[in-house]
């Protein structure tokens, strides 16, 4: 079928695939022909046998470890999918190559991994052997047609109504914040929901390695980094994007994920009048965020005391998410304020603790959070007792 389509010079649409199949005169009935056309179209331009999983609105992640080792997450943790498989290891490799090409990225023996966004918004990560032992590994994270709203996250149990009202107040007060948590805890989902609350007259400029944030907002400018080409040229780093974003008159500067030297430019921006900035960072707990940022700051040549001084002045809050091991439910667990310890180093202090049963408890950092909001004319957490 590939050869017939190539000879005809036709794009592999459903119609051209059907025409090529009819020309081959297969011994198939009407229903069988339709099923075969769908299968061939999926193999040529879709995600092959994974299309049926990606079409399921409940599926958030699809992970391929081998021809018959496919795992999915439907919101309650990973489970093995027994009804879907590839013909062999080469079929998995072919799919990885095709998806990388569709994303405009390189994937070969010289660069055996890719992290990119597909045209439909699905996030792709793939690793080829020998980096991946035995078989090509593919990780796909589905993309919702629209982002979650904060009310939808409340209904899903990600945070109680009182916690949502607190975050609305934080956005109105234009406090700068980082959303922390482990992989797959919903950091990007929560950030997109919060950005949807930003006033329609404000301009949001987002810098990301892989374009994931799609907030429901009328004025969003999205910048995406770029890896080097085959000659090692043309790379655009996240730090480059943050610097350019500062020249684009942002009302809200957003870094999709702080993971390197760009932390210096972000903290500098938040210290020079760019209020209300936000981003995400990987961390095991909210109290670990200053240490995590210290490690990232060292990549930019920033010494420890200078980093902590910048951090205390730039960052107001840390919102931490967890994933419950039993249920797999993603939820907001803590909101911390940033303060200084006796040595002058930045530390976080719990302002609000959100329990799995939906209860919300004030912590020792609550008074500081109230003061930060009150200084900007906002009453924080009216529903928190």
Bond preceding residue 278 cis, omega within 30 of 0: no
Q: Over 70: is that where the pLDDT of 287 sits?
A: yes
Q: For the segment 59-87, what is each residue's pLDDT rounded down to a tens digit?
A: 889 999 999 999 998 877 789 988 888 98
Confidence of residue 272 (pLDDT cuts 50, 70, 90): confident
Pick 9 or 111 by higher pLDDT. Answer: 111
Q: What is the pLDDT of residue 17?
A: 58
Q: What percent of the chain has pLDDT over 90?
A: 45
Q: Sorting pLDDT into bands at 50, 70 and 90, what band is 173? A: very high
pLDDT higher than threshold 80 for residue 32: no
Q: What is the mean pLDDT of residues 101-130?
A: 87
Residue 296 has pLDDT above 80, yes or no: yes
Question: Which pLDDT score, from 0 to 100, does residue 259 have?
Answer: 85
For residue 38, what pLDDT is reported?
57
217: helix, strand or coil: coil
Identify the residue with better confidence: 6 or 360: 360
Average pLDDT for 158-184: 93
pLDDT tens for 333-344 read: 999 999 999 988
Sign of the alpha-carbon dihedral angle for 170, 171, 176, 178 = positive
Using CA atoms, how far apart are residues 254 and 266, in angstroms rounded to an integer? 9
Whether residue 128 contacts residue 113, with contact meaning beta carbons closer than 8 Å, is answered with: yes
Please say whether the dihedral angle defined by the alpha carbons of residues 275, 276, 282 and 288, taken in this order, is positive or negative: positive
Give the CA distances from residue 193 to residues 20, 132, 317, 320, in Å, rounded to whole numbers and listed in that order: 45, 35, 17, 15
Q: What is the pLDDT of residue 3?
A: 57
Is residue 363 scored above 80 in pLDDT? yes
Packing angle, helices 304-314 and 289-299, rounded to 10: 120
Confidence tier at 139 by pLDDT (50, 70, 90)? very high
The dihedrals phi and psi of 251, each to the nearest 5 degrees, come to: -85, -30
Higher-confidence position of 384 and 349: 349
Q: What is the pTM of this model?
A: 0.81
Helix (H) or strand (E) holding 334: strand 330-340
- In DSSP notation, 248-271 reads S--SEEEES---STHHHHHHHHHT
Residue 126 in this model has a pLDDT that exceeds 70: yes
Instruction: Check residues 271 and 373 and name the one with the higher pLDDT.
Output: 373
Q: How far apart are CA 183 and CA 204, in angstroms?
A: 25
Count the residues in the chain.
Answer: 385
Classify residue 262 as left (phi > 0), alpha (psi -120 to 50) or beta. Answer: alpha
How confident is the model over 303-334, as pLDDT tens digits?
A: 888 889 989 989 999 999 998 877 778 899 99
| Mean pLDDT, range 142-148, rounded to an integer | 79
Number of CB atoms found within 10 A of residue 264's CB? 21
Q: Please count the CA atoms within 13 angstroms of the CA of 385 that sit on its side-chain side.
A: 3
- According to DSSP, residue 277 is labeled -
At residue 343, φ and ψ (nearest 5 deg) are -85, 0
Nearest to 356 by CA among 318, 313, 327: 327
- Looking at residue 36, its pLDDT comes to 53
Chain mean pLDDT for the chain: 85
Mean pLDDT, residues 181-188 taken together: 89
pLDDT at 205 over 70: yes
State residue 383's pLDDT score. 67
Decide if 318 contacts 348 (C-beta within 8 A). Answer: yes
pLDDT in tens, 190-202: 999 999 999 999 9
pLDDT band at 263 (very low <50, low <70, confident <90, very high): confident
């Amino acid at each position: 079928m590939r050869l017939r389509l190539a000879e005809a010079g036709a794009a592999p649409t459903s119609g051209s695939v059907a025409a090529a199949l009819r020309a081959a005169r297969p011994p198939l009935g009407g229903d069988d022909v339709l099923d075969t056309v769908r299968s061939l179209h999926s193999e040529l331009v879709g995600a092959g046998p994974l299309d049926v999983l990606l079409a399921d609105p409940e599926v958030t992640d699809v992970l391929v470890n081998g021809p018959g080792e496919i795992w999915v997450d439907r919101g309650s943790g990973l489970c093995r999918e027994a009804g879907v498989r590839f013909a062999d290891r080469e079929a998995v490799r072919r799919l990885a190559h095709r998806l990388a090409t569709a994303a405009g990225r390189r994937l070969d023996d010289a660069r055996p991994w890719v992290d990119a966004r597909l045209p439909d918004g699905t996030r792709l990560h793939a690793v080829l052997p020998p980096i991946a032992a035995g078989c090509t590994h593919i990780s796909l994270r589905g993309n919702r047609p629209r982002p979650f709203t904060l009310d939808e996250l409340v209904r899903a149990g990600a945070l109680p109504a009182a916690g949502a009202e607190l975050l609305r107040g934080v956005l109105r007060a234009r406090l700068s914040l980082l959303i922390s948590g482990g992989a797959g805890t919903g950091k990007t989902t929560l950030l997109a929901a919060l950005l949807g609350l930003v006033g329609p007259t404000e301009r949001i400029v987002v810098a990301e390695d892989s374009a994931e944030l799609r907030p429901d907002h009328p004025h969003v400018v999205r910048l995406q980094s770029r890896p080097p080409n085959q000659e090692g040229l043309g790379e655009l780093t996240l730090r480059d994007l943050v610097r350019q974003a500062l020249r684009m008159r942002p009302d809200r500067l957003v870094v999709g994920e702080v993971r390197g030297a760009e932390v210096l430019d972000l903290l500098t921006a938040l210290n020079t009048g760019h209020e209300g900035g936000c981003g995400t960072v990987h961390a095991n707990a909210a109290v670990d965020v200053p240490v995590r940022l210290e490690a990232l700051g060292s990549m930019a040549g920033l010494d420890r005391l200078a980093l902590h001084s910048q951090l205390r002045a730039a960052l107001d809050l840390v919102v931490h998410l967890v994933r419950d091991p039993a249920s797999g439910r993603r939820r907001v667990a803590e909101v911390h304020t940033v303060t200084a310890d006796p040595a002058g180093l930045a530390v976080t202090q719990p302002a609000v603790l959100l329990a799995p049963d939906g209860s919300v408890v004030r912590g020792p950092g609550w008074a500081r959070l109230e003061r930060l909001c009150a200084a900007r004319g906002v009453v924080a957490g009216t529903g928190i007792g």
